[in-house]
Structure 1
Amino acid sequence: MPSIRLLQPSDSLVELTTLLHRAYASLARMGLNYTAVDQTPETTAQRIQGGTCWVATHGASLVGTLLAQPTHAKSNCEYFTRPGVACVHQFAVDPDHQGRGLGRQLLQLAEQWAADRGYTELAMDTAEPATHLVELYGRLGYRPVGSVQWRGKVYRSVVLSKPLVAGITPP
């Protein structure tokens, strides 16, 4: 079973970026140009600044990751700038480890992180055509609250949010 911990300065951003590429490859095959499909390690580093990044490891390999960020001061997604809303980005599980609850564990950590800091919601976005992801997040308590068209993306994203209760571990 993989273990989850905070990203360490000694962790390889090249390996983390490669994990993102593997996890998002099926979405790329659907024609969806998510940033994580082909981002560089430098982009990975930029995206994790100001957030809390967890990684899941199996042996010496990175097999999952999730980035939680506080309310954005400025964003093309207005929902991410609402007071009390924290956000999830760069959420990925290696295809060989999907379907085993690892993604759920990563999300629960982010939900607890946000609730412990007084956030009332945890939000994320995903491509509207990725209906399997929209349905998965719906089963985990996330509900559509809007949409956004990110610059350079060939798809529109659905914005999803889950209400949080401070001090209570989400189910």
Structure 2
Amino acid sequence: MPIRLARPADLPILQDIETASGELFRRIGMTAVADHAPPALHVLRGYQRAGRAWVAVDAGNRPVGFLLVKVIGGAAHIEQVTVHPDHQRQGLGRALIGAADRWAVEKLLPALTLSTFREVAWNAPYYAGLGFHELAEDDLTPELLELRAEEATIGLEPADRVFMRRATR
């Protein structure tokens, strides 16, 4: 499936994808994560207008997955990568991360970073398979430490989370 930059008309669909994906967390008992609201349209619009939102689209050019990126601590930080459950296990997450990697190279950013759940199979173990490695506490930039504090304010337990990094390719 092709990857392209998100368009304004895609944004409500991205919210639907996020909601559907949240159900996977419900199945493993993480109901608070499943119940967390998708990003607001104005937030998605900010990423889209800045050229930092990509979508994986089906044959009808309808988004079935998305990735949002921002620059944190001198790296391209993957804020979110989500694929609709009906389209998972097809390499779309990998393809979306590839788009973010190419963008980071164009912007002369040396690495991709992300924050994810340590023990959820489709989180840290998945990213490790894509070449990401866990950052030690001493390797966290002030910006990543601030992000960890922000995550804690919305109920994400720091002990359950891990920051990861991969050099751009």
Moved >6 Å (runs of 4+): none
SS at match of 1:141: coil
1:155 CA drift (Å): 2.8
1:37 CA drift (Å): 4.0
1:97-134, CA deviations, whole angstroms, 9 ceiling, x for partnerless residues?
Answer: 11111111110111111112111111001122324421
- Using a 3 Å threshold, how does the CA distance of structure 1 residues 46 and 60 change in structure 2: closer, same or farther? closer
1:153 to 152, 155, 163: 155
Alignment correspondent of 1:61: 62
TM-score normalised according to structure 1 size: 0.76
Do residues 108 (structure 1) and 98 (structure 2) align?
yes
Percent of matched pairs sharing the same residue: 25
2:126 to 136, 139, 150: 136
Length, aligned pairs only: 152
Aligned CA RMSD, in angstroms, stands at 2.5
1:40 CA drift (Å): 5.2
TM-score normalised according to structure 2 size: 0.77
Write the letter of the residue equivalent to 2:52.
T
Alignment correspondent of 1:75: none
Q: Which runs of 5+ in 1 are unaligned?
A: 72-81, 165-169
Alignment correspondent of 1:99: 89
Following the alignment from structure 1 to structure 2, what is the Cα–Cα distance between the partners of residues 36 and 55? 23
User: Contact between 1:50 and 1:69, CA under 8 Å: does it hold in 2?
Assistant: no
- Using a 3 Å threshold, how does the CA distance of structure 1 residues 129 and 153 change in structure 2: closer, same or farther? farther
